[in-house]
Structure 1
Amino acid sequence: MPTIKETAVITGANRGLGLEFVRQMLNSGYKVIATCRQPDDAEELYQLAGSGSLTVLPLEVDDPHSVDSFIKAMDEQPVDILVNNAGVMGAPAQDIDNMEVNLWLKLLRVNTIAPFELTTRLLPNLRMSDRPRVIAMSSQMGALNSNGEGFYAYRSSKAALNKVMQTLAIQLAKEHIIVCPVLPGWVQTDMGGKDADISVDESVKGMMRLLENLSLEQSGQFLTWHGTQHTW
């Protein structure tokens, strides 16, 4: 069994990228605090418990009461890495002639505001680390040089996330807290679909290498899963 070296918090850990982050981090010796909305239904997540130090906590990132309970449960727990992975794509009704405004608000709450809130609420825990790092899963669809149509709610929520993470990075640099939005690539998940470019395993391996080598000089950059800087 590898020696436990750091503690990571992963949101949306019951499937896709989040679940793979848990698997690879446990195998690499991290202590992992995994969150999801319904832990009782997260069978695949609990199956990983035997491979390392895993704690599963309930967290619905857009529910203030759930966030409060999670922060209370974290108490004096140091956090070295926060992976803001929880996010939603939303329904197809995101076009000029078919926009659900309430859906738009939901996506902004989950994809943009929740990563900010969770990061700031966990600052006391991050400050206990010798090398605190925060990443948030972004998207090419949130880059202003992306010229696709439709999906206004999703695109804008990820573009706003990029700016929020960049601003946090600037403000927290004096405390040596590294903050970056990260592009995981077009990944073969429920959201990305089976025709996506890369596997979940490949994407997370790249982001694990990124987290291992992330420096304060890179804080605030929009980085890709293989460690290069992406155009905003």
Structure 2
Amino acid sequence: MRAQMNTPLLTDIEPERAPPLLQVRQLAFARNDDPIFGPLDFHVDAGEAVLVHGANGRGKTTLLRVLAGLLPAQSGEVSIDGLPASREAVARSCALLGHLLGHKGELTAEENLRFARGLFGQRPGISPVTALAAVGLAGFEDSPARQLSAGQKKRLALARLLLVPARLWLLDEPYANLDLEGIDLVNRLVAHHLGRGGAALITSHGAYATGAVRTRTLSLDPLPANDAMETTHG
């Protein structure tokens, strides 16, 4: 009798898991030999947000600036889509919204977005005008950025995020200078971004970031080993 071979069905084969959008290994930063954070090990998958918590001075803003390529790490490795994070990969895949919003005050709101488009490209299906409308700035296309209120300037920065094709949003205190309507807008924009396969790393002193989005938390405060990450639900 011929021996029967147990050939696995195609449905039994596990699909190969895509690498994390962002992978961080043993990342550390020091200023004048004074450790600021790390070493850190964490990842961010497509479709998820990670909230960065920590007391003042723990390096939340510094971490985002290191990941954005604006500061050099003391040690460690960063990968994007499974490949080492070159300067070109960071510029293509990451968009930072920081305390300094990066607007040119003499340019109008629409001109600022056109300038960003020239630097970073444009997501298909959206224009500077539609991005402004999506963040509540319809009618402000021709307003110089310097004449906008603090909240409107933050909304202009959010419009820039919508316009450029970066998949990983690095959001440093995105709720600052926003009213409750603006806070809800941030949550909705992040949720939409995650639904399109994007990801976000968010710092915030408030609890607003958990309102609409499923998240994990990364703590920069000292914790027992293996307890730095936890899953939360919005």
TM-score scaled by length of structure 1:
0.35
Please tell me whether Structure 1 or Structure 2 has the larger radius of gyration of its CA atoms.
2
**Relative contact order higher in (CA < 8 Å, ≥ 6 apart):** 2
TM-score scaled by length of structure 2:
0.35
The structure carrying a bigger strand percent of its residues is: 2
